[in-house]
Structure 1
Amino acid sequence: MAEAHAAVAFSFSVTPDGVNVAVNHEALWAVFHSGVLSWNRKIHRIKNSFHNGIYPASAMSLLFTISIVLALCLGGFDVSYGSIKYIQTHFPGISYANDTVNFVISSVIFSTILWITVINVIKYILRLLFNYQNWMYEVRGKKVSWQTKLWVVLVKSFSGRHPKLYSYQASLPKLPVPGVEDTMNRYLLSVRPLLDDEKYNRMKGLAEEFKNGIGNKLQRYLILKSWWASNYVSDWWEEYVYLRGRAPIMINSNFYGIDAVFLKPTHRPLSRAGNIIYSMLKFRREVDREELEPIILNKTVPLCSSQYERQFNTTRIPGVETDQLIQYHDSSHIAVYHKGRYYKVYIRNKGVLLTPCEIEYTLQKIVDDDSVPSPGEKELAALTAGERVAWAKARAEYFSKGKNKASLHAIEKAAFCVTLDEDAQEFDLNVEEKPELLDVYGQAMLHGKGYDRWFDKSFTLVVCANGRIGFNAEHSWADAPIMAHLWEYAISEDNLILGYTEDGHCKGELGPTPPPHPIRLEWDIPKPCQSIIEEQLQVAKQLISDVDLHLMVHTAFGKGLIKQCKVSPDAFLQIALQLTYYRTAGKFCLTYESSMTRLYREGRTETVRSCTVDSCEFVKSMDDPNCTNEERIAKFQRASESHQQGYRDAMTGKGIDRHLFCLYVVSKYLGVDSPFLAEVLSEPWRLSTSQTPHTQTNRIDLVKYPKQICAGGGFGPVADDGYGVSYIVAGEDTLFFHISSKKSCPTTSSKKFGAGINKALQDLKNLFGK
């Protein structure tokens, strides 16, 4: 509100009678409230910086330390070993005070130094404790070692209470650099089932040559970087994997999420939008104030929270050679797209966050607007869906001044984008006659029409015409668990806390002062730019036409039965995927499964190579008539443990692919070629998989509210002749799979693969006699 009225807060005119000054009191109040908000944010940041700087101690511990030191010194015990006397005689200024004041000031200074020293020692001890990873390798249900028990006691003893979102950041260890020889051994073991003897021996020779040659030189540079940088992988991963990519990010990079499909809290889209937008803004406020609790595994080990910093007010700016991520300090609005028009919607009224019913009221103003899009406006976002170079050049030439610059800035500075879709996403999970309706829903979230999501924004909330919701997220700023956390928060807030009236509207009433009206963004897009938009829309449509996306709901069993098999749900499903791929393709393939490295500072992801020697042996045994069920179960257990070992290695910094990737980057900086690295980095991931995290927090009790299950999300295929599979263990009896491939590939079919998954899961159930 302030920025809309600040320019007209004062006006004056000169008349024969003098100068008349008019004051717009509403504008002045808006400016005042804006200033108050700004100072509140500054105060919160200062408080949080102080809290995190001294964590796990508290401010009261300083007073306690000063009191103890003073009491002991007055009792005749010099706990400072002469330091207080030294401060009394050498510290500037205090020597002129009387003896009592001099003594008290010196004691306070010594106590403060002692307090700060102890805090840093505790932080260092916590960092050492968090480096201990053996707890991950101890199988649940079996006896825990005394070392791990002692470690848990020490961690809980040194950890503080009531941590803020970033309180543990300074105590997290750095991601370790694996040894070259260890990585070579793990790599060769991972490709052994994929290569015949001749090809394997050739690859082994390349690995030996690399290990004994250039590898050690590259490793030294990487170790040097690990000493200097907070994380030796993350900045290069963000730059070279995401921001330097020149291909379209729609489908190729962005990912999506969908609704809790067993629930439909309201049929009114604007009411649903009101609740969800409010919940997301509330989440943003908790992130800004660091009131959001960090994710802590097993109530003991914290995960890095750095990725939350760029969740809001962030956009990807296109460049000719590389893109860049821009995060604005704050944003007082969201950007809304409806029927080809863009609006700027303020989220506060006189400094107070709009309530859900006020947001619904404001969005209704947009829906009631019967204006038509400006030339080029309706399909403008196709620029963000197409080729990055074309978008960068168009942005520099046509959006650097005037209306276009101001309107584009309003979208890019928005907290996030919202699309009010004209299409409804209707489906019935209990009816098997039209399963493609769920596929259409996923496609709408993955790419829409190619021009109705702002793909550069950190995320776009999509509200369908029947009240269904979803999102499309840009990938470079963070990984899926961060968006999953926000999604879990928003859906639980919507369904369990905010709720709706009997007729489906947001609860509450409008205040005495109506919320600010939405501002229609103005554009002046010339014909040449309209031609570029049309060209990029054709690029987007071609990508969309090649996507084969299938969403599958498996309700025969879920986490409950898998646990009865005494195996990790993730290992169970990964083995099922291996079995499915082998049956559909007649061979094994290099398989990518994403795992996190957020046990370390600024950690992102690592690759678990799910196709192992043990998993291949089990898969072959399933269709071997000479193999008994007892032998198959034994092979399955070995394959499961092998997978879990790989997952643990990936999480604890002993992965393969990020190390090889960084060695490759170093080689390019040094201008040296490595046949081994070039070949490894060019290997296609024909099966790219990821498990969507669910119930990362305790906000949703699925036992009490089983229909709150979120259906997860997915992504596009990574290889032209492969599959992208995202899955979520959503409940005791429910699994969701999001399967993508390319229609242009004659050897892949997402529906056929989904049917294969169903059969594999049923075969595994039968194997265990369940």
Structure 2
Amino acid sequence: KNDDDIVTRLSGLVWSSLRYRAALMDESLEPDVFHLGTVTNEKWFKTVASFMPKKFAYAFPYLFNGYPLDMSQHKKMFGGSRIPLKHRDIYRQTNNARHICVMYKDNVYTVNVMGPTGNIYSPAQIRNALQFIVDADENAGVPVGVFTGEERNEWAGIREQLENNATNKNNLDAIDTSLFLVSLDKEGASSRESLANQFLHGYGKNRWFDKSFCLLGSGTGEVAINFEHSWGDGVCVVRYAEEVMKDQEFVKFEGTNELDLPTKLCWDLNQEQMSQVEKSGKKLEDTAKSLDFKMCLYEKFGKEDLKKHKISPDAVAQIAIQLGHYRLHNQIVPTYESASTAGFKGGRTETIRPATVASTEFVKAFTADPSPQGKGDLLRKAADKHNKISVEAKTGKGMDRHLFALAAIAKKDHIRSTLTAKGASETEIEDAVAKGGGDLMSAAEVAEGLPKLFTDNGWSRINHNILSTSTLASEAIEGGGFGPVVADGYGIGYGVRDHGIGFNISSYRGDSQQLGDSFAKSLDDIMEVLKANPPPKSEK
């Protein structure tokens, strides 16, 4: 948050977002490089790398123990939308758009932000357009965006009906092809939790969740990014946020007062569709209200203190999550932590499994005897194990994505071979594959043909992640969050900062605050263990 009014602030962010996109498109954006160790002369390294011919540029960082990261997903961030089809979605992207879409009071407007030759409009021109929308102060529109929060097959059927009308089809096309979306909320938030809920889901109001990403602005001046996850991952959004925030110093509201008038999209809905809007909106609102979302900030220590104790900050955060959950529920549960595999071409993510034998030994030992004495070795073994599996996941040695692919292939092959033998048509077979068996094969019949590994209870258990965690640590982002991936689980977005650790916890269980309090107590105790058990002299 800053002192600018929200229209001014969003205008600057839109302008900088367009500049970021331009740098992506002409490949002038500095590439992501992961260094093992410290580069002694970073400025020299970057200067030399910038002059390298393209065919050598990728290899050059290896001389300095640096590893270039794949950036292909960054370009998917703009001009994209997730489109629902029956039993599957597709990602549609357009690179020649020059407009964004702006939502205000559930009305959708198209706003040109670039000229016919690709020139970016000035911050003043963009602000004029946004201010025009606010000043028009139209009555609340029909919240068609609630459909994007529907069950995907349901939304696919609704969208198909909408597209039968030329006006509605053109509206959908304008939204799908827009560079990105801006949601300007008239309402503000009275607390951190209410703000988090507003930015995560907004109770379905003034949102279009299928868009690649949306810049959100609250009536009290805060801004956020809400992004659809199929096209890319958090590391991409963090880089965008960092670059756009740095660029704010170049935003100047001066020059022309010309205005490219926004165009309001008007929907042509019949009575049945209006009823469906109301029904879908109520369902989405009820689901959102049942989500318990708490923001928990621990400020007693952070990254700097943990480095002094020669222990990984991420490992400490994950061990605190394990200990905190065990204290609250008295069980070790399947846990997911996201790891980026951008070190590989087209890389997305792999799973880190923080609930290890080593972390469990520490958790149970500490629960049996909460004194810090004699727990140092167990804590450091747990941290070392976490560091090891984290590196393995990032370097292509994880197991989850590999096994998931094998399970998916085995399932599809079994359905195809079984239905081919039964004389089913190719259309029927492909439909059954898309539906995981559909009407032609029962779940039991599908399971019969799978390798025993994929029908074992252990396979089902590790894929039911009670604790789904992800970290997005950046000075440009105050915090990040998401919903749980299973009904009885938790979504935990966390960030280890220099002098604090933040946990944004969501669940449908109603005990997110209790879990956050348990994390805080666990961090207190872990620090006592570190103080009572300093690292061996060889590690100091």
TM range (shorter): 0.7 to 0.9
| 1:682 to 2:460 alignment | yes
Aligned partner letter, 1:535: K
| 1:458 to 2:212 alignment | yes
Q: 1:767 matched to which residue of 2?
A: 529
Query: Which secondary structure does the structure 2 equivalent of 1:525 belong to?
Result: coil
Q: 2:267 matched to which residue of 1?
A: 523
Aligned partner letter, 1:309: K
Aligned partner letter, 1:673: L
Aligned partner letter, 1:640: A
Pairing 1:594-743 to 2, within 5 Å after superposition? 594-625=338-369, 629-671=372-414, 672-679=449-456, 680-683=458-461, 684-694=464-474, 710-730=477-497, 732-742=498-508
Cα distance between partner residues in 2 of 1:567 and 1:658: 28
Kindly indicate whether the alpha-carbon contact (under 8 Å) linking 1:339 and 1:378 is maintained by their aligned counterparts in 2. Answer: no
Cα displacement (A) at 1:571: 0.6
What is the CA deviation profile of residues 44-64 of structure 1, one whole-angstrom value per residue up to 9, with x for unaligned ones?
A: xxxxxxxxxxxxxxxxxxxxx
Match of 1:398 among 147, 152, 162: 162
Kindly indicate whether the alpha-carbon contact (under 8 Å) linking 1:275 and 1:498 is maintained by their aligned counterparts in 2. Answer: no
Match of 2:235 among 465, 474, 481: 481
Q: 1:341 matched to which residue of 2?
A: 107
Query: Which secondary structure does the structure 1 equivalent of 2:82 belong to?
Result: strand
Pairing 1:306-385 to 2, within 5 Å after superposition? 306-349=72-115, 351=117, 352-373=119-140, 377-385=141-149
What is the CA deviation profile of residues 468-488 of structure 1, one whole-angstrom value per residue up to 9, with x for unaligned ones?
A: 101211111111111111112
Q: 2:253 matched to which residue of 1?
A: 508
Pairing 1:67-146 to 2, within 5 Å after superposition? none
What is the CA deviation profile of residues 327-368 of structure 1, one whole-angstrom value per residue up to 9, with x for unaligned ones?
A: 012211000011221111000246421122221111111111
Kindly indicate whether the alpha-carbon contact (under 8 Å) linking 1:349 and 1:516 is maintained by their aligned counterparts in 2. Answer: no
Cα displacement (A) at 1:690: 1.0
Query: Which secondary structure does the structure 2 equivalent of 1:602 belong to?
Result: coil
Cα displacement (A) at 1:378: 2.6
Cα distance between partner residues in 2 of 1:590 and 1:371: 49
The alignment's C-alpha RMSD in Å is 1.7
Aligned partner letter, 2:166: G
Cα distance between partner residues in 1 of 2:88 and 2:258: 44
Cα distance between partner residues in 1 of 2:459 and 2:28: 41
Cα displacement (A) at 1:425: 3.0
Cα displacement (A) at 1:370: 3.6
Cα distance between partner residues in 1 of 2:413 and 2:159: 34
Kindly indicate whether the alpha-carbon contact (under 8 Å) linking 1:724 and 1:739 is maintained by their aligned counterparts in 2. Answer: yes
Query: Which secondary structure does the structure 1 equivalent of 2:101 belong to?
Result: strand
Aligned partner letter, 1:691: T
Cα distance between partner residues in 1 of 2:169 and 2:162: 8
C-alpha change, 1:662 and 1:349, in structure 2 (3 Å) is closer
Query: Which secondary structure does the structure 1 equivalent of 2:492 belong to?
Result: strand
Kindly indicate whether the alpha-carbon contact (under 8 Å) linking 2:338 and 2:349 is maintained by their aligned counterparts in 1. Answer: yes
Cα displacement (A) at 1:271: 0.5
Query: Which secondary structure does the structure 2 equivalent of 1:761 belong to?
Result: helix
Cα distance between partner residues in 1 of 2:138 and 2:272: 24
What is the CA deviation profile of residues 294-348 of structure 1, one whole-angstrom value per residue up to 9, with x for unaligned ones?
A: 1101161011111112100000111112111000122110000112211110002
Match of 1:274 among 11, 25, 31: 11
Query: Which secondary structure does the structure 1 equivalent of 2:286 belong to?
Result: helix
Kindly indicate whether the alpha-carbon contact (under 8 Å) linking 1:661 and 1:681 is maintained by their aligned counterparts in 2. Answer: no
Cα distance between partner residues in 1 of 2:181 and 2:367: 50
Kindly indicate whether the alpha-carbon contact (under 8 Å) linking 2:101 and 2:109 is maintained by their aligned counterparts in 1. Answer: yes
Query: Which secondary structure does the structure 1 equivalent of 2:275 belong to?
Result: helix
Cα displacement (A) at 1:654: 1.2
Cα displacement (A) at 1:736: 1.5
What is the CA deviation profile of residues 608-654 of structure 1, one whole-angstrom value per residue up to 9, with x for unaligned ones?
A: 111111111111222333x8645200111111111111111111111
| 1:287 to 2:54 alignment | no
Aligned partner letter, 1:635: L
Cα displacement (A) at 1:669: 2.4
What is the CA deviation profile of residues 259-303 of structure 1, one whole-angstrom value per residue up to 9, with x for unaligned ones?
A: xxxxx3224010001111111111111111111121101161011
Cα distance between partner residues in 2 of 1:633 and 1:315: 49
Q: 1:222 matched to which residue of 2?
A: none
Kindly indicate whether the alpha-carbon contact (under 8 Å) linking 1:334 and 1:344 is maintained by their aligned counterparts in 2. Answer: yes
TM-score by length of 2: 0.83
Query: Which secondary structure does the structure 2 equivalent of 1:317 belong to?
Result: strand
Q: 1:440 matched to which residue of 2?
A: 194
What is the CA deviation profile of residues 371-424 of structure 1, one whole-angstrom value per residue up to 9, with x for unaligned ones?
A: 335xxx431101111122222122212233322111221111100011110111
C-alpha change, 1:451 and 1:319, in structure 2 (3 Å) is farther
Q: 2:429 matched to which residue of 1?
A: none
Kindly indicate whether the alpha-carbon contact (under 8 Å) linking 1:419 and 1:460 is maintained by their aligned counterparts in 2. Answer: yes
| 1:420 to 2:184 alignment | yes
Cα distance between partner residues in 2 of 1:678 and 1:461: 42
Kindly indicate whether the alpha-carbon contact (under 8 Å) linking 1:594 and 1:689 is maintained by their aligned counterparts in 2. Answer: yes
Cα distance between partner residues in 2 of 1:493 and 1:384: 32
Query: Which secondary structure does the structure 1 equivalent of 2:402 belong to?
Result: helix
Q: 1:575 matched to which residue of 2?
A: 319
Kindly indicate whether the alpha-carbon contact (under 8 Å) linking 2:203 and 2:289 is maintained by their aligned counterparts in 1. Answer: no
Kindly indicate whether the alpha-carbon contact (under 8 Å) linking 2:327 and 2:367 is maintained by their aligned counterparts in 1. Answer: no
What is the CA deviation profile of residues 169-215 of structure 1, one whole-angstrom value per residue up to 9, with x for unaligned ones?
A: xxxxxxxxxxxxxxxxxxxxxxxxxxxxxxxxxxxxxxxxxxxxxxx
Query: Which secondary structure does the structure 1 equivalent of 2:491 belong to?
Result: strand
Cα distance between partner residues in 2 of 1:365 and 1:642: 56
Cα distance between partner residues in 2 of 1:563 and 1:415: 41
Query: Which secondary structure does the structure 2 equivalent of 1:276 belong to?
Result: helix
Structure 2, unaligned stretches of length 5 or more?
Answer: 36-60, 415-448, 533-540
C-alpha change, 1:631 and 1:515, in structure 2 (3 Å) is same
Query: Which secondary structure does the structure 2 equivalent of 1:663 belong to?
Result: helix
Cα distance between partner residues in 1 of 2:453 and 2:409: 14
Cα distance between partner residues in 1 of 2:132 and 2:182: 15
Cα distance between partner residues in 1 of 2:313 and 2:192: 24
Give 1 or 2 for the bigger CA radius of gyration: 1
Cα displacement (A) at 1:681: 4.2
Q: 1:541 matched to which residue of 2?
A: 285
C-alpha change, 1:687 and 1:370, in structure 2 (3 Å) is closer
What is the CA deviation profile of residues 447-487 of structure 1, one whole-angstrom value per residue up to 9, with x for unaligned ones?
A: 10213111000011111112210121111111111111111
Cα distance between partner residues in 2 of 1:556 and 1:585: 25
Q: After superposing the two structures, state which structure 1 stretch, 411-420 or 677-686, moved more.
A: 677-686
Q: How many percent of aligned residue pairs carry the same amino acid?
A: 33
Query: Which secondary structure does the structure 2 equivalent of 1:342 belong to?
Result: strand
Q: 1:498 matched to which residue of 2?
A: 250
Cα distance between partner residues in 2 of 1:413 and 1:643: 42
C-alpha change, 1:283 and 1:650, in structure 2 (3 Å) is same
Kindly indicate whether the alpha-carbon contact (under 8 Å) linking 2:107 and 2:206 is maintained by their aligned counterparts in 1. Answer: no
Cα distance between partner residues in 2 of 1:279 and 1:370: 26
